[in-house]
Structure 1
């Protein structure tokens, strides 16, 4: 079968690999769509970062790997011991490997397992015609949710989980820095949780236009003093929640100035270089920076439920490409800012 194989920095190619075989407690999935994630871009241009260069403690695999952790498809084979899935089920994959024994796992926070791994990074993933996953990773999609939307459950769950770690309230104001796919996901998540007063800060006119078409109120930080605007908008109270989905110093510093007392800046970005910034605003306001990593099954179920109710809209920011175009129309185009969100279709 064809798959997108990662062999190191700037070394990704579509190639033929053996079809994966189903083991006990596993299912084989025919992949319909697989999203290219910001993490995939970091691996390609700056990695290896999350892709192991020696055997991973849970998967025992290492580079090279088939990429792809944002995917949905159809179950075509079930292994021994699988009870909740059948051939023909359409699923979205929750690609987290966990040990089940460490303190975070025992507390139900397996997303921060001390040995955490990811399908499509720590082992062969879904940017392929077929992939095999543990049954615990499969979330069935309701009839009204397409597999195109299903491939977005993973990044939308990243965003949803981040909002659950915030102090966002329905009667307060939230601000999002960055209107890429995660920024859009944050906006959808907040709105889905009944939080209406949301500002999205984004310097790119293309990205501002994309999220504005969905109904968001945007701010251009190159033309407006964002903390001053927020202070005026909130009558000096500041925001209940700020989210950094941009991953640059300017967004972090501006976000800290927007925070109300005791509130949190939730960091949803991947920082590929060190950020130097003053923590004085945290001290003066007893505010904090909150980290967030991926999601749990609760976030997946919440996002899928919102999708079933028609809450998510892909208009203007999601597009599909053939697997053979994954470099030029995928990695390179995303890096250049020519596209927002790309789903790879292995059947094309």
Structure 2
């Protein structure tokens, strides 16, 4: 079968590899689409970062391996002991490996397991024609959800988890810094939670246009409009109830903290390549909070699938497809150059 095999920094080859076999407790999935994540970009251009160079303690896999942790498809085989899934079921995959023993796992926060692993980073993933996963990773997709949307459940669950952690409600105001896939996902998640007063801050004209076309009514360019001044005016001096950093820059964090209302929180959901300077005095004087957000749990998956089944998400203008043989040139390189916003690889 064809698979995109990661061998190290800027070394990703599409090759013929052995089709995986299905063991006890596992399912085999014929992949419909697999999204390229920002984490995949970091791995390709600066890695290995998360992909282990020694056997991972939960999966036993190490470099080289097939990338891909955002995917959906149809089950073609079920292993011994699998009772609640069947061949032909359409599924999306929640790709988190966890130990089940650490303190975080025991209270249900397996997304911060001390040994956390991801299918497609710590085990051969979905950027291939077929992949095999533990059956407990699968979430069935209703007929109303397309395979394209199914492949987006994972990044949209990342965004939904961040929105939940902010503790917003219907009357809340919010700002999202960054209109990449996660920033767009946060906008969708906030609207799904009933929040209407949302500002999105994004320097890219193409991204601003795409988001406005989806229905966002307050999208600003931080190079032309100061986000803090804009939001102080928009909230009549109160500041926003929640700020989300999906940009991962020092400027976005500083602006996010600057526009927070008293005792409100900034949710950090970006991948930060280097430590940032934080104005702790402002945190003290405003009694603000900074909340980290890492991936998701099944609660977020179920919520996103429910919203998708009701037509809440729209891929128009920001999702592109590429065949697997063009994954580097039209996938990774296009994303890095800003020519595309979100790419799904079609094996």
User: Same-fold call, TM > 0.5?
Assistant: yes
Alpha-carbon separation, structure 2, partners of 1:291 and 1:143? 34
1:239 equivalent in alignment to 2:240? yes
Q: After superposition, give the CA deviation of every residue in 1:129-156 in whole Å (9 maximum; x if it has no partner).
A: 0000001000000010011100000000
> Is the partner of 2:219 in helix, strand or coil?
strand
CA contact (8 A) 1:243 1:265 kept: yes
* Matches of 1:234 and 1:292, distance apart in 2: 25
Partner of residue 143, structure 1:
143
3-state SS of the aligned residue for 2:316? coil
* Aligned counterpart, 1:249: 250
Deviation at 1:225, TM superposition (A): 1.5
Residue 279 of structure 1: how far off its partner (Å): 2.0
Equivalent residue, structure 2, for 1:38: 38
CA distance in 1: counterparts of 2:261 and 2:30, whole angstroms: 47
What is the CA distance between 1:119 and its match in structure 2? 0.1
1:269 is matched with 270
Q: Counterparts of 1:106 and 1:275 in 2: how far apart (Å)?
A: 32
Per-residue deviation, 1:229: 1.1
The 1-side partners of 2:272 and 2:46 are apart by: 11
Correspondence list, 1:67-82, <5 A? 67-82=67-82
Q: How far apart are residue 228 of structure 1 and its match? A: 1.1
**Partner deviation per Cα, 1:23-71 (whole Å, 9 max, x = no partner):** 1110000000000000000000111111011011100111111000000
1:225 is matched with 226
The 5-angstrom pairing of residues 316-327 of structure 1 reads 316-327=317-328
Distance 2:6 2:282 in 1: 42
Partner Cα separation in structure 1 for residue 281 and residue 51 of structure 2: 36
SS class of match (1:44): helix
Distance in 2, matches of 1:202 and 1:284, equals: 28
Tell whether the 8 Å contact from 1:65 to 1:124 is kept in structure 2 after alignment. yes
Counterpart CA distance in 1 for 2:65 and 2:123 is 6
Question: In 2, distance between residues paired with 1:163 and 1:288?
Answer: 15
- CA shift, 1:17, in A, is 1.0
1:188-337 maps to which residues of 2 (within 5 A)?
188-216=188-216, 217-337=218-338
Distance (Å, rounded) in 2 between the aligned partners of 1:235 and 1:171: 15
Show CA shifts across 1:233-291 (max 9, x none). Answer: 11111111000000011100000001111111100100112222322211111111110
- Please report how far the alpha carbon of residue 169 of structure 1 lies from its aligned counterpart in structure 2 after TM superposition: 2.4
Q: Deviations over 1:6-27 (max 9, x none)?
A: 1111111101111111111100
Distance in 2 between the 1:167 and 1:199 partners? 17
Cα distance in 2 between the residues matched to 1:233 and 1:319 = 34
Tell me the matched-pair count: 346
State the Cα deviation string for residues 309-348 of structure 1 (Å, max 9, x = none). 00000000001110000000000000000000000000xx
Corresponding position: 1:2 with 2:2: yes
Unaligned runs of 5+ in 2: none
Matches within 5 A, 1:109-128: 109-128=109-128
| TM-score, normalised relative to structure 2 | 0.99
| Residue range with higher mean Cα deviation, 134-143 or 271-280 | 271-280
Considering only aligned residues, what root-mean-square deviation do their CA atoms show, in Å?
0.7
- Length-normalised TM-score, structure 1: 0.98
What residue in structure 1 maps to residue 86 of structure 2? 86
Asked if the contact 1:167/1:263 (under 8 Å) is kept, the reply is no
**8 Å contact kept, 1:167–1:240:** no
Q: List gaps (5 residues or longer) in structure 1.
A: none
Runs of 4+ in 1 over 4 A off after TM superposition: none
Whole-Å Cα distance in 2 between the matches of residues 127 and 284 of structure 1?
48
